[in-house]
């Protein structure tokens, strides 16, 4: 059995973009995560956060990774976030979407990936 923890539209600011002038200023990104975890019943019964994935810790990990260094591609950032979370959290499967607000006449562009914890 598994359950889902969701973080929707976590706001981060980072230096990202292919042209240098785009990376000259930090840009807002919204990051959403679906974290498939083992059954959360024990955490619920005991009211003990150590028996589940602490979404505050996940959010802080993501924010720290985003400001670590500039990147050109959303794809690069998405893969780095997925690898970091899967290596350091008790997550069975991760779905991640990063939204960027750069193209005129669009609400946003995004990259979405899914990764199992193997």
Indicate if the pLDDT at residue 114 is higher than 90. Answer: yes
**Which residue's entry shows tokens 């539209």?**
9
pTM beyond 0.75: yes
Location of structure tokens 């974290």: 35
pLDDT tens for 2-23 read 899 999 999 999 999 999 999 9
3-state SS assignment for residue 95: strand
pLDDT, tens digit (0-9, with 9 covering 90-100), for 24-75:
999 999 999 999 998 889 899 999 999 999 999 999 999 999 999 999 999 9
- pLDDT over 90 (residue 118): no
- In angstroms, rounded to a whole number, what is the distance separating the alpha carbons of residues 38 and 6? 14
CATH fold for the domain made of 2-116: GTP Cyclohydrolase I, domain 2 (3.30.1130)
Rounded CA-CA distance 91/25 in Å is 33
């Amino acid at each position: 059995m598994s359950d889902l923890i969701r973080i929707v539209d976590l706001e981060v600011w980072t230096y990202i973009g292919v042209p240098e002038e785009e990376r000259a200023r930090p840009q807002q990104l919204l990051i959403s995560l679906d974290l498939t975890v083992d059954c959360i019943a024990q955490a619920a019964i005991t009211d003990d956060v150590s028996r589940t994935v602490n979404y505050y810790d996940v959010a802080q990990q993501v924010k720290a990774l985003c400001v670590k260094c500039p990147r050109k591609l959303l794809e690069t950032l998405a893969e780095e976030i997925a690898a970091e979370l899967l290596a350091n959290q008790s997550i069975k499967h991760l779905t991640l979407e990063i939204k960027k607000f750069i193209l005129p006449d669009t609400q946003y562009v995004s990259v979405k990936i899914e990764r199992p914890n193997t």
